[in-house]
Every structure is written in structure tokens, then in C-alpha cells.
Amino acid sequence: MPAAERLAAPLPRSPGKERPLRFAGLGLLVIVAAAILAPGCGSKRTSSTLDPLLAQGWQAYSTGDFDFAAECFRGVQTTQRATADQTYSAILGLATVYHLQSNPDFGKAREYYALLAGLNTENARKQSALGLARVDVAEGKDADGRSKLAAVMRDYPDSTEADEAVVHLAESLFAPRADEAKPGGFGIAGDASMERGLKLLEDRLSARPRNPLASAMHMMLANKYIELKRFDKALENLLAAEKDGIAVDRLRSVVVWRVARIAEQQLKDYALAERYYQRYVDDFGRTVLYYRALTSLERVRALMGKEGAQQGKAEPSKGT
């Protein structure tokens, strides 16, 4: 019989030979199935009750495990027995995951933010409005995004969401735009846009001077004024941020340094510069700028001494 025909023909049935081969094949099937399934047995188990499931979802979201987070949230969202709060948490979770994951899915984010609005609670409506606005901005739909952010400010004027909307709206007005066609090419925000953003922040701070984001808003204004080389306004906002209380130590050191530097180099207010360099030396001895602050303090004191001496010369002597 030719080789090809021998291969094509079924195996001869010889007693005792066929069964071990089938046994081997079956055994292998069992081993392979066990090897595939076993690792999955010890892996993430979702909880049967909803609050722990939501906690798992938020935990997974906070650690970057977005797929699992979405799975947990969907598990709650699709169940009939969820309470209104639980449904809110689940839908908010889904919207946030799709909005802020590494490769965002803005379409789904928009869908879930819109679903939030249908929940008819104040919190849900605020989160929905803010989320939809931010998704538009993230997608580059600036005009839509900005008008939606303005709507959040208008509809919920005394809320933290409105404070955050102000920050994002100002950011959008200030933001440069990358020119993807030209490597390293950017378009800087125009003067009108900058002025609008500055006014927006200042108006908000006038209306709500003690809002939770006041220090952040003051720092944002200071950043912009430094960029625009308007150092007097920058100083005003830096001092206001410090007065409001800056929670991040590192940023507090930056604010103190900036006040000292602007006072010394731009405004020639050596007394203020001396006070702030001294504060830097006292409070931030572990930073890389510590020694520069120390030498700057000496320099400013020398300048103050010189100034004082010159003023003494300029004024007519009272004795004559």
C-alpha cells in the first residue's frame, strides 16, 4: 500500500493498542484544560453584595486596572437590586473610567455621563454636567466644552463642581495647542483668551473668596501673570495663595521662593524679599534652593544696607 494511502487510512483496530492512545489523548485534554482554567480559579472574584463590589471597582480604578473596574461597575449598574446611591456610584464610576483611562473612550464616557443626568439627584446632575463639559474639552471641541463649563458655573454657582469648572475653563482659555503636523509646533493662546481666563478666575475669587480651590486659583493667576511678566499682579496672587493656605509643602516652598525672587529682582522691594528669603531658609532647609536662599538673603541685606546708606546721603542732614 502506498505511503499516502497508509496515512489516510484509519488505524487498524488491534486490541489493547487503541485504548491507551485514546487514554493519552483524553489525559492530555484534561491536563491542558486544567492548566488553562486553574490560574483563573484564584484570580479576582467579584463580590456578590453591591457596596463591596463598588469598593472593588473604585479600588481597581485607583490602581489603573480599568477593565476590572468597569466590570465591577457594570455588575452593579445592571442589577435590579441596586439602590439609587449605588446606581449613581456605578454610573459615575463607568463614566470616569472611560473618560480618564489610559486610552480614553470618549463616546462611552459621554454616554454614561448623560445617563447620570437621568438619575435626578443634585450630585448626579452636577457630575454629569461637569463630566460632559470636560469630555468635550479633552476631545478638542473647545467651543462646546467651554460653553458647557460656563453652564455648570451658571446652574450650580455655589458648588465645588462650579469651582472646578472655572479652573478647567480658565485652563482651556490659557492652553496652547499642539500642531501635530509640525514636530514641536504649538499655538499660544491669544491676548483676548488670556484676559478672559484671568477675569474668570478673578471674578470667581471675588464671588467665592474662601472656595476650596481658592489657593489653586490664586496660584493659577500667579503663573499666568509671571508668564505675561506682570509681576505686581503675580505677587498679589502669590501672597493671597499663601494666606489662603497651601496644602502641598513643595508648592508652598515654590510660592515663598517666587515672592522673594519677584520682590528682589522685579519690584526691588528688598524688605519683602528679605522677609521671604528668611522664611525660605527657616522652613525649607532640605530643598536644593536652600543655599541659594541663604546667599540671596545676604545679598539682599547688603543691598538694603547700601540703599539705606544712599538714602542717608540723599536726605539733607538735620544738623545743618
Partner 1 sequence: MLLSLWQNLRKYPALLLLVLVFGASCAVVAVNAYRAAGGAVGQGRKKVLRIAHWQLEQGIRDAIDRLIADYEKLHPDVEVRQILIPETGYFQWVNTQLIGRTAPDMIEVGSGGTVGWALWPKFYARYFLPLDRYVDEPNPYNRGTALEKVPWRKTYFDEMDGGYEETLQSYYRIPLSAFTERLYYNKDLVEKVWGPTFPKTYEDFLELCRKLAEYGRKNEKKLVPIAGSGYNFRQFFNAYRTAFTANYLDPLDVDMDGIVSRIESAAPIYSGRVKLTETPIRANFELVRELSEFFPQGYTSLSRDEAIFLFLQGSAAMITTGSWDYESMGVQSEFHLAVTEIPLPSKSNPRYGSYVAGPQTEAGIRGGFPVGITKMSRNAEVALDFMQYATSLKKNEEVNRAMYWLPVIKGAEPRDELKPFAPRTEGYSASIEYEGPGAEMAYAQISIEYLSGKLSYEEFVDQFMQAYRREVPAGIQDVLRNDEQTLNQEMRFAAIRRAALTGAPGATAVATGDSAAQYKRIMEAYVAQVGVRDSDIRDWTENARQAEQPARQSGR
Partner 2 sequence: MARQAVRLRQIRSHWPLYLLLLPALGLIATFMYVPAATGILHSFYRWDGDELATYIGTDNFTKAFTDPTIRHAFSIVAILFVANLFKMIPSIITAVVIHRVISDRARYIYRLLFVVPMVIPGMVVLLIWKFFYNPVVGLLNSFLTATHLLNVLVSVNGWLVNVHLADKATFMADRSPAWLGDSSLVIPALIFWGFPWIGIIGVLIYLSGLEKIPKSVYECAELDGVGWFRKFVYIELPLIATQVRINLVLLIIGVLSDYGLILVLLDSSGGPGGAAMVPGLYMYYNAFVKREAGYACAIGILLFFIILGLTFINNKFVRVEK
Hey, which residues between 129 and 158 contact partner 1 (CB under 8 A)? Answer: none
Options 150-158, 255-263, 268-276, 310-318: segment touching partner 1 (CB under 8 A): 255-263
Options 95-103, 139-147, 269-277, 303-311: segment touching partner 1 (CB under 8 A): 95-103
- Tell me: does residue 16 bind partner 2 (CB under 8 A): no
Least distance (Å) between residue 142 CB and partner 1 = 16
Q: Closest by alpha carbon to 259, among 283, 282, 232? A: 232
- Tell me: does residue 213 bind partner 1 (CB under 8 A): yes
- Name residue 187's beta-bridge partners: 177
227 binds, among partner 1, partner 2, none (CB under 5 to 8 A by kind): partner 1
The residues in 63-92 that bind partner 2, with binding defined as CB under 8 A, are 64
Q: Which of 287, 299, 301, 303 binds partner 1 (CB under 8 A)?
A: 287
Q: Which of 48, 49, 102, 206 binds partner 2 (CB under 8 A)?
A: 102
Q: Give the cell for residue 184.
A: 514641536
- Tell me: does residue 5 bind partner 2 (CB under 8 A): yes
246 binds, among partner 1, partner 2, none (CB under 5 to 8 A by kind): partner 1
With contact defined as beta carbons under 8 Å apart, do 81 and 50 qualify?
A: yes
- Tell me: does residue 223 bind partner 1 (CB under 8 A): yes
4 binds, among partner 1, partner 2, none (CB under 5 to 8 A by kind): partner 2
String of DSSP letters for the chain: --HHHHHHSPPP--TTTHHHHHHHHHHHHHHHHHHHHHHHHTS----SSHHHHHHHHHHHHHTT-HHHHHHHHHHHHT-TT--HHHHHHHHHHHHHHHHHSSS--HHHHHHHHHHHHTT--HHHHHHHHHHHHHHHHHTT-HHHHHHHHHHHHHHSTTSHHHHHHHHHHHHHHH--EEETTSTTEEEPPPHHHHHHHHHHHHHHHHH-TT-TTHHHHHHHHHHHHHHTT-HHHHHHHHHHHHHH--S-HHHHHHHHHHHHHIIIIIS--HHHHHHHHHHHHHH-TTSTTHHHHHHHHHHHHHHHHHHHHHHHHHSPPTT-
57 binds, among partner 2, partner 1, none (CB under 5 to 8 A by kind): partner 1
Q: Give the cell for residue 176.
A: 496652547
174 binds, among partner 2, partner 1, none (CB under 5 to 8 A by kind): partner 1
Phi first, then psi: what are they for 236, rounded to 5°?
-55, -45
- Tell me: does residue 109 bind partner 1 (CB under 8 A): no
Least distance (Å) between residue 28 CB and partner 2 = 6
Q: Which of 26, 33, 178, 309 binds partner 1 (CB under 8 A)?
A: 178
The residues in 23-52 that bind partner 2, with binding defined as CB under 8 A, are 24-25, 28-29, 32
224 binds, among partner 2, partner 1, none (CB under 5 to 8 A by kind): partner 1
147 binds, among partner 1, partner 2, none (CB under 5 to 8 A by kind): none
Residue nearer to partner 2 on the CB measure, 103 or 311 = 103
- Name residue 177's beta-bridge partners: 187
Q: Which of 26, 27, 33, 79 binds partner 1 (CB under 8 A)?
A: 27
Q: Which of 14, 48, 80, 103 binds partner 2 (CB under 8 A)?
A: 103
